[in-house]
Structure 1
Amino acid sequence: MLETRDLTIRFGGHVAVDHVSCAFQPGTLTAIVGPNGAGKTTYFNLISGQLPASEGQVLLNGLDITRLPVSARTHLGLGRAFQLTQLFPALSVLENVRLAVQSRRKLGLNLWSVWLDHRGTLRQARELLEQVRLDDKAETIASSLPHGDQRKLEVAMLMALDPLVYMFDEPTAGMSVDEVPVVLDLIRALKARQDRTILLVEHKMDVVRELADRIIVLHNGRLMADGEPEAVIASPVVQNAYLGVVEEVAA
């Protein structure tokens, strides 16, 4: 469903992502791990279009989307949740999700269509808020939510888009112990559908071990390892060059 071929970006003389080639299949969850500065979020930014590639390609269902803007990639089925939340801060929780539902239904600014489907979009938005346990905060202004709730709201907005590819960049960062299971349960449910591709950047190795079908390891922008979790974690190369850093972060 998703593939990168020799994907590369340079900032001056620094190569942040260095000819990374990977293919990601529907029904799988791939964890992308590596120490700070390894290129994980930059790789995400190249895939989702926040950064332009210096070399290489990004393909979605065989279509070269390397030069397409973020909005076009989103409409083709790439969905991204950020390490820092991306919300409409002055709008209510419900309105944030409703706008995402409306975007998915491609109602745009056609006011007649919006009016006709208003009840339907609101109903779906409320259902999504129930799933992330924010239904009791539907009328709250998004900017006033605690950080953990803002993360859950962003996940609800991403689910409203129902993309082919879900990209989660440290989805549980900044959440309390009580909040983390809500987001992990949602990711498990998406994975159980078996028809979506999920990419997950995550530092917590217990989460990676539980959820991932596959791990890829980036180090200095290069693909160091790629395979089933147990094999990658046990790899001498990863053990010597990387895993100690992960375990220290996870601890």
Structure 2
Amino acid sequence: MGVLQTHDLTIRFGGHVAVNAVSCRFEPGTLTAIVGPNGAGKTTYFNLISGQLPASEGRVFLEGQELTGMSASARTRAGLGRAFQLTNLFPNLSVLENVRLAVQATESGAHLRGLNLWSIWQDHAQLTQQAQDILQQVAMMHQAQATVSSLPHGDQRKLEVALLMALKPSVYMFDEPTAGMSQDEAPVILNLIRQLKSDKTKTILLVEHKMDVVRELADRIIVLHNGQLVADGEPSEVMASAVVQEAYLGAKPAQTHPQPHVNASAEEGV
């Protein structure tokens, strides 16, 4: 079994089927890029997995545990870590305080419930040390006392990755992690994702429009088109396929080829 699986995952908005019976398995040690044209259902699929949207049909499993009926926060506690297209930070707190809160949320809480002042101080010191260790890993220790609202956009995205690391998920989910970044800022986030990828116990899902990023980072690509899974495989194989060239890259089909749609061979491979 893969660490993360979706079985016939589907959502309808009125008469529109935004994600249509997507079944997929995501393995540890693999970075899977999810690509497709605008409106293909990529972010909606992410929202179904992480619990921001309830599925009309289908099921989600993480390490054999069914998550389908769980809230987004319960799925986070179960091991799903989600980074959003917009940063989800506490802007009026410091960088260190943001990470320390994430570390604290990860702890079981049992050792934080006592009223002994010494133990409370000791717990606080331990949480602070863990937060500082994470900031060292993302090269933000020099900004530990800076207020989050004062950080440039790129550093806020770095901090969001630090918060994910603090949660210690088994699955990292990145939705357009370089969106809105300058050419100077984007490599920092990509380097952090490379670091996470080096841990072969982790599973990484990446929604990304920039195909140079996909080609560099992805071990596997899946393609969504009109809410359906139409291709799944190694990057070179998937990027060369007719369905991707037509549906995603906008290439014109050959005269004898029908207009872009879910082809039978891709559908059979789902």
**Superposition pairs of residues 85-100 of structure 1, within 5 angstroms:** 85-100=87-102
Find the aligned partners of 1:219 and 1:6 in 2 and give their Cα distance: 15
1:162 CA drift (Å): 1.2
1:71 CA drift (Å): 1.4
Report the AA paired with residue 7 of structure 1: L
1:114 CA drift (Å): 4.7
Whether contact under 8 Å (2:208, 2:214) holds in the other structure is yes
SS at match of 1:73: helix
SS at match of 1:115: helix
Whether contact under 8 Å (1:107, 1:114) holds in the other structure is no
SS at match of 2:200: coil
- The worse-fitting range, judged by mean Cα deviation, of 52-61 and 233-242 is 233-242
Report the AA paired with residue 156 of structure 2: Q
Residue 109 of structure 2 is aligned with which of 107, 110, 130? 107
**Superposition pairs of residues 51-66 of structure 1, within 5 angstroms:** 51-66=53-68
Higher helix share: 1
1:195 counterpart = 2:201:
yes
1:106 CA drift (Å): 2.4
Which has more radius of gyration? 2
1:49 counterpart = 2:51:
yes
Q: How many equivalent pairs are there?
A: 245
* Aligned position for 1:151: 157
Q: Deviations over 1:175-194 (max 9, x none)?
A: 22222222112211211111
SS at match of 1:159: helix
Residue 181 of structure 1 is aligned with which of 187, 192, 199? 187
1:111 CA drift (Å): 6.0
* Aligned position for 1:11: 13
Find the aligned partners of 1:6 and 1:57 in 2 and give their Cα distance: 7
Backbone CA RMSD of aligned residues: 1.5
Whether contact under 8 Å (2:4, 2:60) holds in the other structure is yes
Find the aligned partners of 1:233 and 1:25 in 2 and give their Cα distance: 21
The percent of aligned pairs where both chains have the same amino acid is 71
* Aligned position for 2:264: none
Distance change in 2, residues 1:141/1:13 (3 Å)? same
Whether contact under 8 Å (2:95, 2:145) holds in the other structure is yes
Whether contact under 8 Å (2:37, 2:247) holds in the other structure is no
**Superposition pairs of residues 111-190 of structure 1, within 5 angstroms:** 112=115, 114-190=120-196
1:222 counterpart = 2:225:
no
SS at match of 1:244: coil
1:148 CA drift (Å): 1.3
Distance change in 2, residues 1:76/1:114 (3 Å)? farther
Find the aligned partners of 2:54 and 2:31 in 1 and give their Cα distance: 25
- The worse-fitting range, judged by mean Cα deviation, of 222-231 and 181-190 is 181-190
1:140 CA drift (Å): 1.7
1:224 CA drift (Å): 1.3
Which 5+ residue runs of structure 2 have no aligned equivalent? 252-270
* Aligned position for 1:238: 244
Find the aligned partners of 2:224 and 2:74 in 1 and give their Cα distance: 27
TM-score, normalised by the number of residues in structure 1: 0.93
* Aligned position for 2:37: 35
1:25 CA drift (Å): 0.5
Report the AA paired with residue 138 of structure 2: V
* Aligned position for 1:21: 23
* Aligned position for 2:268: none
* Aligned position for 1:67: 69
Find the aligned partners of 2:173 and 2:240 in 1 and give their Cα distance: 26
- The worse-fitting range, judged by mean Cα deviation, of 125-134 and 145-154 is 125-134
Q: Deviations over 1:4-42 (max 9, x none)?
A: 011011111111111111000111000001111111111
Find the aligned partners of 1:107 and 1:227 in 2 and give their Cα distance: 42
